[in-house]
């Protein structure tokens, strides 16, 4: 299994909401499969201060060997790596669009996006089968009675691609928590999709989302649930759906994209490790 590794260069940056930026990247090399499926994950590698571009090992056929080579780079030079969803592939080009949540200088990705300009370069790893969905969307839509999508603004790019890929005739319900009404984005597609926008205000991230799903009168039948966003909220929603609603575990695709008051560079908690282990046993 080859792990694609390439450099990408900023071609354009534009604000799509007050707290989100869409960056168009031109890739040095881009496989035809990139942008061909919804919820497609890549990892972006950000240069350290003083570097014009990140230091990266060359592409190889052994993903674990590549990652070990990445870890062998001295920490002061090793790029910071973060996961993102491919929002769109510009047809007929090597250009892709990726959305960034702008939450100030509290993380390397947000800080970079606030200052990004055409010509800036990042590394990109993937997409790869290693990051692929647990259950293909077409299989989920054909098997379940309806589709549940739930997440915060960090999950909006993935939710948008999923909404666009659901076929006509499929019933879907999306719960999306954002800071306020100005952060709403279009969610379009051929499916019978109802979107419930939730505004966080001053609440802790994920609380409004969790309470809204628990209080909702959900459609009858067994849903396929896709959950992503703040890790504690995703965990709580999954436990509710499986434990109280009786949704089979295999019908819940879940990802804790970020952790409240913790960074991706902080050590995983016991619950983080348990979630990772369960995803491995389900794959």
Q: How far apart are alpha carbons 28 and 140 in whole angstroms?
A: 34
Query: Which residues on neighbouring strands pair with residue 9, listed in sequence order?
Result: 26, 121
Task: Please name the residue that has the structure tokens 């819940």.
Answer: 252
Same domain, 144 and 204: yes
DSSP 84-125: EE--EEPTTSSEEEEEEE--TTSSHHHHHHHH--TT-EEEEE
Same domain, 89 and 163: no
If one counts every other C-beta atom within 10 angstroms of the C-beta of residue 118, the result is: 12
CATH code of the domain containing 12: 2.40.30.10
CA angle, 227 then 157 then 6, to 5°: 110
- What is the pLDDT at residue 171? 96
Q: How far apart are alpha carbons 283 and 280 in whole angstroms?
A: 5
Write out pLDDT tens, residues 92-103. 999 999 999 998
- The lowest-confidence range among 75-84, 223-232, 274-283 is 274-283
Please state the domain count of the chain.
2
- What is the pLDDT at residue 10? 98
Task: Please name the residue that has the structure tokens 């060997």.
Answer: 65
Helix (H, G, I), strand (E, B) or coil at 34: coil
Q: Which of 103, 129, 155 is the endpoint of a domain?
A: 129
Q: How far apart are alpha carbons 246 and 111 in whole angstroms?
A: 41
Same domain, 147 and 124: no
Q: Is residue 4 within 8 Å of 127, Cβ to Cβ?
A: yes
CATH code of the domain containing 211: 3.40.50.80
- What is the pLDDT at residue 274? 60
Same domain, 81 and 152: no
Mean pLDDT of the residues in the chain? 90
- What is the pLDDT at residue 62? 81
Q: How far apart are alpha carbons 235 and 122 in whole angstroms?
A: 31
Q: Is the pLDDT of residue 196 over 70?
A: yes
Phi-psi region of 231 (alpha: psi -120 to 50; beta: other; left: phi over 0): alpha
Q: Is the pLDDT of residue 145 over 70?
A: yes
Same domain, 261 and 175: yes
- What is the pLDDT at residue 278? 60
Q: Which domain holds residue 49?
A: 5-129
Same domain, 150 and 276: yes
Q: Is the pLDDT of residue 212 over 60?
A: yes
Q: Which of 73, 104, 129 is the endpoint of a domain?
A: 129
What stretch of H or E contains 232?
helix 231-239
Same domain, 173 and 73: no
Q: Which of 108, 129, 150 is the endpoint of a domain?
A: 129
Q: Is the pLDDT of residue 198 over 80?
A: yes
Write out pLDDT tens, residues 105-141. 778 999 999 999 999 999 999 887 766 665 667 787 7
Write out pLDDT tens, residues 11-63. 999 999 999 999 999 999 898 888 888 999 999 999 998 899 999 998 777 88
Same domain, 142 and 278: yes
Closest C-alpha among 183, 159, 181, 185 to residue 172: 159
Q: Is residue 41 within 8 Å of 83, Cβ to Cβ?
A: yes
Q: pTM for this structure?
A: 0.90
């Amino acid at each position: 299994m080859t792990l694609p590794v390439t450099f990408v260069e900023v071609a354009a940056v534009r604000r799509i909401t007050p707290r989100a930026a869409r960056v168009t990247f031109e890739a040095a090399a881009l496989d035809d499969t990139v942008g061909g499926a919804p919820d497609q994950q890549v990892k972006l590698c950000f240069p350290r201060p003083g570097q014009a571009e990140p230091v990266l090992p060359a592409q190889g056929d052994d993903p674990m060997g590549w990652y070990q080579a990445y870890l062998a780079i001295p920490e002061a030079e090793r790029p910071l790596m973060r996961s993102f969803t491919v929002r769109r592939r510009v047809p007929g080009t090597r250009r892709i669009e990726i959305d960034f949540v702008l939450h100030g200088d509290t993380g390397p990705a947000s800080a970079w996006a606030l200052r990004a300009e055409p010509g800036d370069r990042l590394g990109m790893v993937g997409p790869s089968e290693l990051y692929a969905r647990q259950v293909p969307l077409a299989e989920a839509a054909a098997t379940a009675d309806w589709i549940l999508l739930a997440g915060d603004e960090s999950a909006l790019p993935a939710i948008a691609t999923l909404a666009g890929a659901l076929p006509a005739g499929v019933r879907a319900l999306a719960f999306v928590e954002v800071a306020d009404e100005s952060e709403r984005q279009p969610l379009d597609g051929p499916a019978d999709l109802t979107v419930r926008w939730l505004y966080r205000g001053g609440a802790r991230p994920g609380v409004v989302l969790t309470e809204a799903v628990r209080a909702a009168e959900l459609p009858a039948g067994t849903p396929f649930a896709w959950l992503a966003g703040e890790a504690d909220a995703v965990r709580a929603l999954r436990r509710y759906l499986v434990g109280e609603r009786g949704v089979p575990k295999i019908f819940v695709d879940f990802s804790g994209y970020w952790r409240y008051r913790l960074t991706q560079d902080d050590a995983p908690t016991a619950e983080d490790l348990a979630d990772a282990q369960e995803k491995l046993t389900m794959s």
